[in-house]
Structure 1
Amino acid sequence: MTDPREEFLAGERPDDVALFLADSYVSDDRLAEFGERVEDGVLIVVDGERGRNAFEAATGTQAMQFAKSAMELEGIIEDDLTGGQCPEAPADEDHSVQFVFAFAEEQNEDVGGIYAEGDVVHAYAKCTCGTAYSDKWNVPDADVDD
């Protein structure tokens, strides 16, 4: 596997972070040099310290401070990290993700819950309405046949 996003989502890059920056939030074509151009934005996977610094530079917010505030409200973040469903959005309104910050945590049976079941992706998003929310899920087991 050589795609940084695929490796990250497979739990193979636990020391890295992933950042999705929507075109509507940051319009800097140079970002594509550092990551992958995706529909509606750029997704960047880099080592943790550089990623946290890049997140702060792009959003004006410290990554872990943002994550802590986003943990207060659960929502749905797409498993490819490029969008989500704002928990504050009425059904008839379209809310869009401005940015996503994510990291993976290796399986930890001592903690229990989903952490005992496998690696976990933690994702934090900010909506155009200003709502910050979080989601987490187990990394799919690549050895399982569909």
Structure 2
Amino acid sequence: MVSLRPGGVYTKAQLQKELETLASCGMFERRDYRRRIERSRPCLLPVTVQREVMQMLREQGRVTARLLQRIRDRVQKWYHDEGYACAQVVNFGNLNTREVVCEVVEGDITQLAIQFQDKLGNVCEGNTKLGVIRRELPKQL
């Protein structure tokens, strides 16, 4: 896989080519993927939703792009219904295995900026007191 030898003299182009070969070989992706899986939290989905996803897999028989979209939509719907307004499925893990791993970013809100906009989307002065917005916003999200 690596053609470089200790003590050899190489051009910048040869070194660049070796780096590209190493980066695209997949060895580092598998290691990174395994590390992420080991550090991940257990599945938050209730058993009923997990069964729905398993049923989708059984009915389809094989993993397709359309099936992954349906799984993504169902998982995101559950998260949104549970109040994770910003949650998104960002990855399906290694599809060469016999399991479908769904990686979800829950979308923690760390900062809030309040702006009033007119009907055209332009920033304008608002009449609602900021205290009312801060009180009601958690209920909305």
TM-score, normalised relative to structure 2:
0.28
Give the structure with the higher percent helix: 2
Give the structure with the higher percent strand: 1
TM-score, normalised relative to structure 1:
0.28
In our comparison, the structure showing a higher alpha carbon Rg is 2
